[in-house]
Amino acid sequence: MAAAASQTMTVAPRGEREIVITREFDAPRELVFRAMTDPAVIPQWWGPARYTTTVETLDARPGGAWRFVQKGADGEFAFRGIFKEIVRPSRVVMTFEWEGLPGHISTNTLVLEERAGRTLMTSTSTFESREDRDGMIASGMESGAREGYDRLDAVLKTL
């Protein structure tokens, strides 16, 4: 699979089991970190706009859990995980699992770098197998991530 790119986001497989997303935001790192860990802000941007996202659980600390539920015309979808590491405001490591396909868990490492008032995000998802990684790519995750991050950019301007 070739890397997809836009002015602000790239998505590329790496090795056998990883997907790396990079995205630049026109906001300081502290604000981006807050928007990505604040249960009041996450529903404003997480995922495609055709879904309403509810944050059922978000305990952003090592060992803390998270669970988001999206509802739309095509049904209800839940996602969950456990935070493994939080380094404010630069790093979050957590697991990610779509409840519709239980047992297929990735580990996501999010790194935020401050760059002259802007933030470069690098998100690396590591899957248990190449098949899980390729399944995530085939699921349409790229378009969902792209739309969600575009929505986040708009929300950051209002915070």
What is the number of domains present in the chain? 1
Q: Coil, strand or helix: which one is 80?
A: strand
pTM of the model: 0.91
CB 41, CB 155: distance < 8 Å: yes
Under a CB-based contact definition with an 8 Å cutoff, are residues 56 and 43 in contact? no
The span from the CA of 154 to the CA of 96, in Å, is 24
CATH number at residue 137: 3.30.530.20
Of the listed ranges 1-5, 15-19, 89-93, the least confidently predicted one is: 1-5
Dump pLDDT digits (tens) for 70-109. Answer: 999 999 999 999 999 999 999 999 999 999 989 999 999 9
Cα 158 to its chain centre, rounded Å, is 20
- Indicate if the pLDDT at residue 126 is higher than 50: yes
CA 104 to chain centre: 16
- Largest pairwise CA distance in the chain: 42
Which position has the token pair 């404003």? Answer: 44
Its domain, for residue 39, covers 4-156
pLDDT at res. 65: 98
Contact 151, 144 (CB under 8 A): no
Q: Which two tokens stand for residue 75?
A: 């049904």
- State the pLDDT at residue 4: 40
CA 128 vs CA 85, 118, 125, 150: distances in Å:
19, 33, 10, 28
Say if residue 60's pLDDT is above 80: yes
